[in-house]
Chain A
């Protein structure tokens, strides 16, 4: 017997997994797998039938469990609740938007007003330039770089 290529074995295994998880109808399988699986099914009809029939028999059983339908009462209650719920939600959304906007605007305004006052007084003092205000001080400041150094009297002159 000729061994089957790995790709075929993998494709069969994947079809088996899909049938076990999602049932025997390929239309309900994940889209990403469907094309490849359907190609394998078309190429191997006998093996595919065996795999899928097995899954379909469980599908048929599961469909025998019917769910209750909603009553007229709950339908009316749900519909009559809608206008109030929608209105309240829209109002809440508006209030949140307005309060959010107002809070942001207030925060910006407060920041603009308060920022100069919030600067540390020490930093402010250090950063501010100090100017001399009287003529003597101005002259002293101007002459500072030119002040001649006071030298020791020369030893030769003394002797």
Chain B
């Protein structure tokens, strides 16, 4: 069986017999049109990716305002990348996630040199007046539990659980093997279960 590996740009390659296979990308058509200057495609790709990248950054950074800045920067890089994108080498969504994660890591290093433990005090899932108090409380507890996870475990859980990425795509976005991803997920979920043990049915 071939094993996916990634290069420094987040492009997916396969080792073994499937090495020559091309990556099937559901965003390819939109990216091609964005690269050709199609304004409708820009709008469509924004609608598809901006909420997704904002959610990713918010869950990794624990700050809605910073998440918005990161998502904006990621999409601006996407506009620059679209005309020169090499189709078939990687999924555009995986590349975007990798860019967003790198921007998040830069911010965490710059703003919070103390490390992930400093995140807990900065968690702000935002007000939700239409939800019941209990649901918001649970959300806050989850956010706090996620914030104290080691960074790599938090990223793995966010990619697989919230961003609904498959293991190959998530491993590519993190630049690790699928085995390493599974280990991060397992440890991350075990830590979350322990932190939320009074809420787990």
Interface residues of A (CB under 8 A from B): 17, 20-23, 28, 30-32, 57-59, 61-62, 64-71, 74-75, 77-79, 81-83, 85-90, 93
Contacts and interface: CB of A to CB of B under 8 A. Distances in A.
Contacts of A82: 34, 39, 42, 79
30 contacts: A17-B186, A20-B186, A20-B189, A21-B186, A30-B168, A31-B166, A32-B1, A57-B201, A58-B200, A59-B161, A61-B200, A65-B146, A67-B55, A67-B162, A68-B55, A69-B54, A70-B68, A71-B68, A74-B68, A74-B72, A78-B50, A78-B75, A81-B79, A82-B34, A83-B39, A85-B80, A86-B34, A86-B35, A89-B81, A90-B83
Interface in B140-186: 142-143, 146, 157, 160-162, 164, 166-168, 178, 182, 185-186
Contacts of B185: 20-22
- What is the interface of chain A mostly: helix, strand, loop, or mixed? helix
The 7 A-B residue pairs with the shortest CB-CB distance in the complex, in nearest-first order = A67-B55, A85-B79, A65-B142, A64-B138, A21-B185, A68-B64, A82-B42
Interface stretch (B6-14, B18-26, B104-112, B191-199): B191-199
B157 to A, nearest CB: 8
A79 B83 contact: no
Nearest to A91: B83
A66 B58 CA distance: 10
Nearest to B192: A58
A70 B70 CA distance: 11
Contacts of B146: 65
Q: Give the interface size class of chain B.
A: 35 or more
Nearest to A54: B200
Nearest to A56: B201
B164 A28 contact: yes
Nearest to A94: B83
B135 interface: yes
A65 B182 contact: no
- What is the interface of chain B mostly: helix, strand, loop, or mixed? helix
Nearest to B47: A75
Nearest to B135: A64
Contacts of A88: 80
Contacts of B199: 61
Nearest to B43: A79
B117 interface: no
A79 B37 CA distance: 12
B76 interface: yes
B32 to A, nearest CB: 12
Nearest to B50: A70
B21 to A, nearest CB: 15
Contacts of A86: 34-35, 37, 79-80, 82-83
A67 B161 contact: no
A49 to B, nearest CB: 14
Given A30-B178, A58-B196, A66-B139, A75 B46 contact: yes
B128 interface: yes
B181 to A, nearest CB: 8
Contacts of A65: 59, 125, 138-139, 142-143, 146
A107 B37 CA distance: 34
